[in-house]
Amino acid sequence: MKKAISVLLALILCLSCFAACGKTDTNDGTGNADNTAKKYKIGICQLVEHVALDAATEGFKQAIIDALGADAVEFDFQNGQNDPNTCSTIVNQFVSNKVDLIMANATPALQAAAAATNEIPILGTSVTEYGVALDLKDFNGTVGGNISGTSDLAPLDKQAAMITEWCPEAKTVGLLYCSKEANSQYQVDVIKAELEKKNITVTMYPFTDSNDLAQVCTTAADKCDAIYVPTDNTVAENTGIITNICEPKKIPVIAGEEGICSGCGIATLSISYYDLGYTTGKMAVKILKGEAKIAEMPIEYAEKQTPKYNNDICQALGITPLEGYTAIEAK
C-alpha cells in the first residue's frame, strides 16, 4: 500500500514538472503575468459631424496610431447627432463596455462623459472653456480628477478687433449663437464687451436649435451692419442657412473658426482642428502607457492661430481681402 502511494506521488510530481517546463514564463518584470501586448479600447463621442470636429477626431486617432500602431487600439466612434441626450446614452455604453479611455469631442459630449464616470480617463477636445463647460469655480487650467483635454479657444480680443478691421463702418453688430451651448455664450459675452469698448452697438441673437436659426438670423441681418458667430456646433452644421440669408442682404459674417467661415463667413482667426485632435491623441498615449496622470495634466491650447478669408463670399459682397490673411482652400 505504501509502495502504491509512493508511486502515485512520484507520478503527480512528474506531471507537475512537465506542465511547468511546457509553460512559457510571461512575467515581464513589472509584476504582470501576461506579457502579451495590450489592445486598448477607446470610445469616441463626437457631438455632431462637421468639418472642424471631424478633423479633430481624425487627428486624435492618427496620433494614437502613430504612437502605438493600428493593431494596438480599437476605436469605437459614435456620433451624438447634436443631441446631448444621445451623447449621454453613448458614453454610458462606453462605461458599460469598460473602455480604457473616452474622447469627448465638443462641450456637450464632454459634459455627458463627466456625468457618466469619474473613473475612466476622459479627454475633451474642441471645447472652448473647461471652467464654463464643467461649471468649475476658480478654474486654474487643470480640471483634475479623471478629466483633461484641449481647447479650441482663439484669442477673442483679436477676433473682436478683426470685426472692426473688416467692417470699419459697422455701427451695429449682431452676435448669432446657439443658447444651448455654454461655450458659445461665453464667447459672445467676451466679444460683446470688447466691441462695446469701441462704442459699437451690440445685440445678442440667441437661437435654440436649427429650427429657429433662419428666423433669428433674418432678424439679425435686417437690423445689423455685420454679424459675428462663435465656434458654435449648431452654426457649423447649418452654415448654408446663414449664407443664404446674409449674402443676398450684403451682410458680412465674421466667424470663430475656419469650418464655419468656409460656409458663411468672410474672415476668421482660426486654428487647425486636426492639430488640436493630434495633441489630444498624444495626451491619450501618455495616459494609456502610464507616463502621465490625467489629474495632473493641464488643458492644452492650439499653439498657432491663422487669419483666413473666404474668397467666394468676399467677392459676392464686393469686399477686398485684407493683407496678412490667407484664402481658405476650397474643399
440667441: which residue's cell?
206
Q: What is the pLDDT of residue 331?
A: 63
- Model pLDDT for residues 139-167, shown as the tens digit of each residue: 999 999 999 999 999 899 999 999 999 99
Cell of 178: 446657439
> What angle separates helix 51-68 from helix 273-288, to the nearest 10 degrees?
40
- Model pLDDT for residues 169-186, shown as the tens digit of each residue: 999 999 999 999 999 999
Rounded to whole angstroms, what are the CA distances from 258 to 40, 66, 124, 164, 168?
Answer: 33, 26, 20, 19, 22
Helix (H, G, I), strand (E, B) or coil at 27: coil
Please give the biggest Cα pair distance in the chain: 111
Q: What percent of the chain has pLDDT over 90?
A: 84
Task: Compute the distance between CA of residue 209 and CA of residue 217 in angstroms, rounded to an integer.
Answer: 12
Q: Bridge-partner residues for 202, per DSSP?
A: 173
Report which DSSP code applies to 279. H
Q: Which CATH architecture has domain 156-270+306-327?
A: 3-Layer(aba) Sandwich (3.40)
> What angle separates helix 84-96 from helix 107-116, to the nearest 10 degrees?
40
Rounded to whole angstroms, what are the CA distances from 56 to 164, 218, 280, 297, 302?
Answer: 30, 31, 9, 19, 12
Q: What percent of the chain has pLDDT over 70?
A: 89
Task: Compute the distance between CA of residue 303 and CA of residue 247 in angstroms, rounded to an integer.
Answer: 33
Closest-CA residue to 167 (of 265, 38, 237): 265
Q: Report the amino acid identity of residue 242.
A: I
Q: Which residues contact 255 (CB under 8 A, 6 or more apart)?
A: 228, 229, 261, 264, 265, 267, 268
- Model pLDDT for residues 192-223, shown as the tens digit of each residue: 999 999 999 999 999 999 999 999 999 999 99
Helix (H, G, I), strand (E, B) or coil at 119: coil
Element (H, E) at 91: helix 84-96
- Model pLDDT for residues 114-139, shown as the tens digit of each residue: 999 999 999 999 999 999 999 999 89
pTM of this structure: 0.81
Task: Compute the distance between CA of residue 284 and CA of residue 150 in angstroms, rounded to an integer.
Answer: 11
Domain 40-152+273-298 identical in fold to domain 156-270+306-327: yes
Which comes out higher in pLDDT, residue 25 or 6?
6
Q: What is the pLDDT of residue 250?
A: 98
The domain 40-152+273-298 having CATH identifier 3.40.50.2300: the answer here is yes
- Model pLDDT for residues 39-93, shown as the tens digit of each residue: 999 999 999 999 999 999 999 999 999 999 999 999 999 999 999 999 999 999 9
Strand locations in the chain, DSSP E?
A: 40-46, 73-79, 101-105, 122-127, 147-151, 172-178, 201-207, 226-229, 253-255, 267-270, 300-301, 306-309, 326-327
- Model pLDDT for residues 16-46, shown as the tens digit of each residue: 443 444 433 333 333 333 445 789 999 999 9
Task: Compute the distance between CA of residue 98 and CA of residue 37 in angstroms, rounded to an integer.
Answer: 18
Sequence spans of domains, the chain:
40-152+273-298, 156-270+306-327
Cell of 159: 477676433
- Number of alpha carbons in the 13 Å side-chain half-sphere of residue 298: 5
Q: In Å, how far from its chain's centre is CA 212?
A: 25
